[in-house]
Copies of this chain bind each other. A is one copy, B any other.
Amino acid sequence: MKNKDEIESATSIPAAVAPTASARVRLRPLDPTGVVIEDGLLAERQRVNREVTLLRGAEELERAGTLENLRIAAGRARGSRRGMVFSDSDVYKWLEALAWEIGREPSAELERLAHETIDLVAAAQEPDGYLNSWCQVVDPAWRWTDLEMGHELYCAGHLIQAGVAFARTTGDVSLLTVARRFADLIVDVFGSDGHTGTDGHPEIEVALVELYRQTGERRYLEMADTLTSRRGFGTFAGGRFDLPYYQDAEPVREARSIVGHAVRALYLAAGVTDIYAETGDEALLGSMLRQWDDLVSAKMYLTGGIGSRHHDESIGDPYELPPDRAYCETCAAIASIMWNWRMLLVTGESRFADLLERTLYNGFLSGHSLDGESFFYVNALQSRTGDRRHNWNPVACCPPNVMRLLASLHHYLATTTDTGIQLHQYASSRIRAVCPVAGPVELAVKADYPWSGTIEVEIVSTGDVEWTLSLRVPAWARAAILDGAPVTPGGYADLTRTWRVGDKVTLEIDVSPRLTAPNPRIDAVRGCLALERGPVVYCFEEQDLPADADLADVAVDPAAEPVDRGPVEPLGGVPGVAVAGVVRDLDGWRQSEYRDLRELPAASAAPTQLLAVPYFAWANRNEGGMRVWIPTTD
């Protein structure tokens, strides 16, 4: 195996996303080893991930046979391969999570698990660099024959991301060496004179760019660009799904809208944004901006969740956003966070950090139980009968994806430019940054965010020069005050000063609860309102209703002011919100679905106070119905 020095790096930043020095980015990630989330909701999620979820991952990968598949491929075990064709990627995502977590804080147990598993992965690799337990165990002739649904390059992408993560956090390049050998084979096979196909499931693109960034080898970037440019010519025509599903209906540079399988669309978008960052190909950025605008104007759920259809896990038509049959795969939320972080780096625009925040606190966190033991694959905004998170899934893409994002959450708090530091996400934290003008700077942030909107930033260390501290003021805020003066929501509040150690600034964002209305074109939630508090979307759980009330019969008074109602203890003390509403008596409708408008039954309604809890925390108590959107009393 090579050691770290033998692999030349084009980047000096050991973060999950690490643009090269010449990348077209307005903002640069920090070295995450200098960032610690110390307290609050995000710290608690990282703790649970470390202490519970990552270890469950090891058990479940064993129980599902996913690790055993690699042992069989490595000749260390005998038996039949189990699980989905793409299940190797579950191991790689879990390894990536281990890498970020070990980088965050060493752990003998996690390091042992990582070492053993990397050794296993290396042992399973073929002499020519190929690595895929389905092909190796089930059918060696299958190699590269099912690009539509085979997920070979997809799995390779996750292997590469894991290899890069270990190289960046522990300096151990053993997994990166495995990944590079496979990547080199892929470049040989899929390079310009070779196989002209691309993968039915994007993912390798974002991985190959990072491999380029990690190794300095431009051919990986070129391979990512080539694979991307092969899309949109109907290669997958006649396949199991339609062309948009595979991101194969329009060439990426010409795409007018965001379509198809949500995770495929969003992984590709993350990769394309990275390719733009490293190549400066403006057609790619133009496509990304068009797709993002299309997403947020007509195809995204209030939770940041994406994917309106179960049938093909796809983004639906514009305004097709059913709350009950929302798909909103947890992986799609994670992919959206990946994409928005890259768009933020490239553009420096706060709207991308706003959407990252919306997705993080809602459509992403809902996928992980508070105790860290179970997961939602689908994150609906309404359930009539209640849902239960699963310990693991036959398609287990989401759980290890949750783990790798939680283990690297601190990568996404802040950035630097030549002239300053930008805070995008708020948490009680220590942030060390090196900015060309200011030199090394350390900030101490105190923020019981998202529950409180008060953010105190103290300068712990700074050079004696002028630099700019930028604080994101979310667009959802009704008001915000920075050191006593109002600032406009929807951008960054910039403070350019010659900072001194001990200087403090306080940003106060109004996080008081508010009612939110949907675009009238969103048919499925017409006549309803939602309740938000700061960046957190709330929901109504059946178990919080008055006895005998049915969640189907509840309505909210649009004139009412929702008010805080103190911590909901069984949910770890998250703040509840109360709002005035009614429980309608629909007895007159029994046994009939449709009535002549002239002959509607008499209606009555009993006033009540409705308790709402954060959407991400639903389905953590008793099983029962839930809804984000509530009809109005009008």
A interface residues with partner B (beta carbon < 8 Å): 293, 296-298, 300, 302, 309-311, 317-325, 382, 384-385, 476, 478, 514-530, 552-553, 558, 584, 586, 589-598, 600, 631, 634
A384 CB to nearest B CB, Å? 5
Contact A322 B319 (CB under 8 A): no
Contact A514 B596 (CB under 8 A): yes
Contact B553 A519 (CB under 8 A): no
Contact A558 B597 (CB under 8 A): yes
Contact A298 B526 (CB under 8 A): no
Contact A516 B594 (CB under 8 A): yes
Give A138 to B491 CA distance when docked, in angstroms.
64
Given A322-B322, A322-B325, are A589 and B521 also a contact pair (CB < 8 Å)?
yes
Q: Which residue of B lies closest to A327 (CB)?
A: B311
Give A597 to B561 CA distance when docked, in angstroms.
11
Contact B521 A524 (CB under 8 A): no
Kindly name the residue among A522, A524, A586 whose own CB sees the greatest number of chain B CB atoms within 10 A: A524
- Residues of B near A597 (CB, < 8 A) are 514-517, 529, 558
Give A530 to B593 CA distance when docked, in angstroms.
12
A324: contacting residue among B382, B523, B552, CB under 8 A: B523
Listed A/B pairs (28) with beta-carbon separation below 8 Å: A296-B592, A297-B590, A309-B310, A310-B311, A311-B311, A317-B324, A317-B384, A317-B385, A318-B384, A320-B325, A323-B523, A382-B523, A478-B596, A516-B597, A517-B594, A517-B597, A517-B600, A518-B594, A519-B593, A520-B553, A520-B589, A520-B631, A521-B552, A523-B524, A523-B525, A526-B528, A527-B527, A634-B634
Q: Which residue of B lies closest to A528 (CB)?
A: B526
- Residues of B near A321 (CB, < 8 A) are 593
Contact B520 A584 (CB under 8 A): yes
Kindly name the residue among A309, A530, A584, A596 whose own CB sees the greatest number of chain B CB atoms within 10 A: A596
A359 CB to nearest B CB, Å? 14
Give A207 to B382 CA distance when docked, in angstroms.
41
Give A592 to B317 CA distance when docked, in angstroms.
16
Contact B594 A530 (CB under 8 A): yes
- Residues of B near A529 (CB, < 8 A) are 597
Total copies of the chain:
2
- Residues of B near A589 (CB, < 8 A) are 519-521
Given A317-B385, A597-B517, are A322 and B524 also a contact pair (CB < 8 Å)?
yes
Q: Which residue of B lies closest to A584 (CB)?
A: B520
Contact A552 B595 (CB under 8 A): no
Contact B586 A296 (CB under 8 A): no
Given A298-B593, A517-B595, A526-B528, are A552 and B631 also a contact pair (CB < 8 Å)?
no
A300 CB to nearest B CB, Å? 6
A323 CB to nearest B CB, Å? 7
Kindly name the residue among A293, A321, A325 whose own CB sees the greatest number of chain B CB atoms within 10 A: A325
- Residues of B near A323 (CB, < 8 A) are 523
- Residues of B near A293 (CB, < 8 A) are 591
A552: contacting residue among B300, B309, B319, B322, CB under 8 A: B319
A594: contacting residue among B318, B324, B519, CB under 8 A: B519
Give A382 to B519 CA distance when docked, in angstroms.
18
Q: Which residue of B lies closest to A520 (CB)?
A: B586
- Residues of B near A552 (CB, < 8 A) are 319, 521
Q: Which residue of B lies closest to A514 (CB)?
A: B596
Kindly name the residue among A318, A527, A584 whose own CB sees the greatest number of chain B CB atoms within 10 A: A527
A238 CB to nearest B CB, Å? 11
- Residues of B near A384 (CB, < 8 A) are 317-320
A562 CB to nearest B CB, Å? 10
Give A519 to B524 CA distance when docked, in angstroms.
15
Contact B297 A593 (CB under 8 A): yes
Kindly name the residue among A293, A297, A476, A530 whose own CB sees the greatest number of chain B CB atoms within 10 A: A297
A588 CB to nearest B CB, Å? 10
Contact B309 A592 (CB under 8 A): no
Q: Which residue of B lies closest to A477 (CB)?
A: B596
A310: contacting residue among B310, B528, B596, CB under 8 A: B310
Q: Told that A516-B596, A523-B525 touch, could you supply 15 new A-B pairs with CB distance under 8 A?
A: A317-B384, A319-B384, A320-B324, A320-B325, A320-B384, A321-B593, A323-B523, A324-B523, A514-B597, A516-B595, A517-B596, A518-B594, A519-B595, A522-B593, A530-B594
- Residues of B near A302 (CB, < 8 A) are 593-594
Contact B325 A586 (CB under 8 A): no
A607 CB to nearest B CB, Å? 17
A314 CB to nearest B CB, Å? 11
A22 CB to nearest B CB, Å? 33
Give A524 to B629 CA distance when docked, in angstroms.
12
Give A324 to B325 CA distance when docked, in angstroms.
12
- Residues of B near A634 (CB, < 8 A) are 634
A567 CB to nearest B CB, Å? 25
Give A311 to B308 CA distance when docked, in angstroms.
12
- Residues of B near A600 (CB, < 8 A) are 517
